[in-house]
Structure 1
Amino acid sequence: MKSARRPLLSNHNRCWIWGRNAVLETLRANYWTILELLYSDRCEEAALREAFDLAARFDVVITYVRDADITKQCRSEDHQGLAARMPPFPYGNVADLWKQLPENPVLVMLDRIQDSHNFGAIVRSVDVLGMHGVIVGTQEQSPVNSLVARSSAGAVNFVPIVQTESLTATAEELKERGFQIVGASDHATQPIYATDFRGPTVLIIGNEGRGIHPTLKSLCNHFVQIPVLGRVSSLNAAVSAGILFYEVLRQRRDGI
């Protein structure tokens, strides 16, 4: 099944995703267009067969290389013999998001989430727990990169992720459209289960160290917190987001 070995394409873009599941999920979705696939002898036959079929369908170059070459490109040995070189992530815009929202949506606004693992884990929870889209800014925000893609378990290919120049202006527009704006905060006194999430809602998850920006805070209708019992007084952004999303899902599924 080997193709003739040939020189790698120019590596001007440093975003690689790797591993059987991450690469195949990206190929299947055909949303974030792959520039080039690399495979080595370590790639399992079934995965390689599917990769070849999908690459042919979507006109993606696939190249056989040594296993060490993939390790060098990814700077990781856990690639399972399969890697993909990616262009910049194709963010949507807010205007596109309006067109695809269902009735009574829940959106997640990320205010300067800088840890790529947190970002990816939040996107994964958005997909699993049924939120309807993610809004990010252009300043101080982790981009969708290889770490985000991998920690999202491929969810970046399915969750609408839109980028805006101004989170504040977007939040103002959402509020004008009838959304309640809810900020997650360790300092809030209102627990998540005492807040009604059954109407159109924007959930704001703030920066890992500084929380929600003051201009966004001024637009919030409510601030909510997750009650904790241990000596560590707070949860990280991704864990907090997952718990908050589940409470939203629970209320909408059970009625309250």
Structure 2
Amino acid sequence: MLLYGRNPVLEALRGGLVQELLVAHGVEKSFLQELQAFDIRLKFAPRIELDQLAGTTQHQGVIAEVEDLAWASVDDMLDRAEARGETLLLVLLDGVTDPRNFGAIIRSAEVLGAHGVVVEERRSAPLSATVAKAAAGATSFLPVAQVKNLPRFIDALKEDGVWIYGAAGEAARDLRQLDYDRRLALVIGAEGEGLRRLVREKCDELVSIPVRGQVQSLNASVAASILIYHALASRPGSR
């Protein structure tokens, strides 16, 4: 898989995932020095060649060939929480098919301290270079799993003592009124459509984010970031 953009490529280098690196002629010396610090052979090419390979001019002068992104298992996420001695927090995505939103949510989940992201097989963007670029390298560090059926997976989580909070703009209770000191999964729906009816019905609570402006909805990745941050910041010992 080809990965482009400076932050994603640097994170892939830090994770030891890069097999080959292509750099545009004329990139600044300071960036070259960053790349050379990883002791990997650099191949140089005209910028137009990188444009053609990436299918975009937004590669920032570097393309890496990396191993294809692989789905993790839910057990990886449970192990991640246990190894850290932390209370589980998962992010479930219901129909988030835009790869940039998908990647941005992975990035926020990793940065803020969630233990994994779970999507449904038929209702998600695939793990791709676009997702990896939007995630700015977070796909190298955060488990992302795929399940056959999200409602059934929610049932299994509930049987295991995990509470399910679904994001819904019209929910009567806002994020300040819920208890986050428990094993928890936050469910984020698709922009415009929101959560499917069956997914909504399986949530223990529906939660809204208070808004003060005239626009009454948030981008899915922004809503996810706010909810993840608030959930973790509300737990004892987080400050």
Letter of the aligned partner of 1:29 in structure 2?
Answer: G
Determine whether 1:186 maps to 2:164. no
**Structure of larger gyration radius:** 1
Determine whether 1:41 maps to 2:25. yes
Provide the secondary structure at the position in 2 that maps to 1:181.
strand
1:169-221 deviations in Å (ceiling 9; x for gaps): 22111111111010000121100000111110000001112211222222210
The partner residue of 2:45 within 48, 65, 77 is 65
Determine whether 1:195 maps to 2:178. yes
Determine whether 1:247 maps to 2:227. no
What does residue 75 of structure 1 align with? 55
CA contact (8 A) 1:113 1:208 kept: yes
Letter of the aligned partner of 1:208 in structure 2?
Answer: E
Aligned equivalents of 2:184 and 2:197: distance in 1? 19
Letter of the aligned partner of 1:54 in structure 2?
Answer: F
Determine whether 1:19 maps to 2:2. no
Determine whether 1:230 maps to 2:213. yes
Number of residue-to-residue matches in the alignment: 236
1:98-147 deviations in Å (ceiling 9; x for gaps): 33323421110011101122112111211222111111111121122222
CA 1:54 to 1:255, structure 2 compared with 1: closer, same or farther past 3 Å? closer
More divergent stretch after superposition (105-114 vs 62-71): 62-71
CA 1:23 to 1:255, structure 2 compared with 1: closer, same or farther past 3 Å? closer
Shift of 1:230: 1.7
CA contact (8 A) 1:184 1:205 kept: yes
Greater than 6 Å deviation, 4+ residue runs: none
CA contact (8 A) 1:55 1:62 kept: no
- TM-score, normalised to structure 1's length? 0.83
Letter of the aligned partner of 1:16 in structure 2?
Answer: L
Give RMSD over aligned pairs.
2.2
What does residue 154 of structure 1 align with? 137
Letter of the aligned partner of 1:175 in structure 2?
Answer: K
Give the unaligned 5+ runs of structure 1: 1-14
Shift of 1:52: 4.9
Determine whether 1:128 maps to 2:111. yes
